[in-house]
A = this chain, B = another copy of it.
Amino acid sequence: MPQFRQNIILKEWVVIATERAKRPEQLKEHKAATAEALPAHDENCPFCPKTAHTHEEKEFLRVPEKGAWKLRAVANRYPALEPPGDNIHVYTEGFFRWMDGVGHHEVIVETPRHNTTLATMTVEEVETVVAAYRTRYVELSKMDYIETIIPFRNHGPRAGASIPHPHSQIIALPVIPRDVMTRLNEAIRYHEEHRGCVFCKVMNNELEVDERVVMETPGFVSFVPYAAASPFHMWVYPKKHSSDFWTISDEEVADLAHVLRGTLRKLYIGLNDPDYNFIVRSAPRGYGNSEFFHWYITIVPRLTRTAGFELGTGMFINPSIPEQDAEYLRSVKI
């Protein structure tokens, strides 16, 4: 019998389609070439050191290494959003409303090497990436018009990445998007009722039950949520309550790099380099330093596709079983 499972944080129901459930190994990618099989440099790649238009680009951050660089943050060449000229206007067009597409969109080129990814980098390299997220997050927070900052990563074409060179992105918005607001509102409602953080509650339960944990370090835990919306969907939580990603210490940066790399490496080895997205979910301006919200990272491997049912309902059908997915990843040696 299929199950509806409730995401206790968003109060949403997910269908765990037991009748069509796949074993973890069945979800393995049949990729012709993983990230490591690419050339070390590609002369057509806009992020490779020799071909990057480094003099034309607006550069926000450069982490130097032996006269060259090991990480750069640059303006997106085709930005989805652009910085404001002066004030932000809302225009009406008869019945409709529109605003200038104001915001900030940057790319973090994670390494000069073309043929690697977070799962195959050293822990120190991933640490440089996580530290760059923090640095840029802090800088962007200082811009008056910004409400929400979202570091994220698209890995592979099914995850929307058009360039294979390892990179992350940061989008900063003058608004709080509806999904972000929904998550905040549900957390506030929980806090009003129970005087606590629903995310802490979920995480402590996962640590106690220990059925869906994938990896644990002193300060972090990654696990498959009880009501995972898709196969191998995972959350990475800091154990210490904090609503704000950017407040992590250097020690926590190193620890997060360790758990993030390890969790992604289990995916890389266990499922043959699947495409994925991950998103750092931190409290928007005005909700910082709060008792009810808890920052975390959502990892979404793109192994299945949304279809008419998901588009029609907003509910997800997960053709795998969260406990089995977690067990499989735990067994993958990294």
Contact = CB atoms under 8 A, between A and B. Distances in A.
A105 to B, nearest CB: 9
A257 interface: no
Contact of A2 (B5, B80, B152): B80
Interface stretch (A61-69, A239-247, A299-307): A299-307
A115 B289 CA distance: 59
A140 interface: no
Interface string A302-314: 0001111101111
Interface in A182-210: 182, 201-202, 205, 209
B97 A19 contact: no
Interface stretch (A27-35, A46-54, A277-285): A277-285
Given A160-B308, A278-B308, A94 B205 contact: yes
A228 interface: no
B312 A279 contact: yes
B152 A309 contact: yes
Contacts of A182: 314
A171 B3 contact: no
Interface stretch (A7-15, A116-124, A126-134, A216-224): A7-15
Contact of A95 (B80, B93, B179, B202): B202
A20 B78 contact: yes
A290 interface: no
A92 to B, nearest CB: 10
Contacts of A102: 4
Given A82-B19, A307-B277, A313 B177 contact: yes
In the complex, the count of this chain's copies comes to 2
Contact of A173 (B19, B150, B307, B313): B313
A300 B311 contact: yes
Nearest to A85: B1
B101 A1 contact: yes
Interface in A153-182: 153-154, 157-161, 169, 171, 173, 175, 177-180, 182
A150 to B, nearest CB: 5
A202 B96 CA distance: 9
Contacts of A109: none
Contact of A313 (B5, B17, B150): B150
Nearest to A105: B309
B98 A4 contact: yes
Nearest to A157: B305
Nearest to A227: B96
A198 to B, nearest CB: 10
Given A178-B314, A305-B160, A15 B101 contact: yes
A180 B95 contact: no
A98 B6 contact: yes
15 contacts: A1-B100, A2-B100, A2-B101, A3-B99, A3-B100, A4-B102, A15-B80, A17-B101, A80-B309, A93-B226, A95-B202, A95-B205, A158-B305, A160-B308, A178-B314
In the A-B complex, the 8 residue pairs with the smallest Cβ-Cβ separation, listed nearest first, are A160-B307, A2-B101, A179-B314, A152-B308, A177-B313, A279-B312, A20-B78, A277-B308
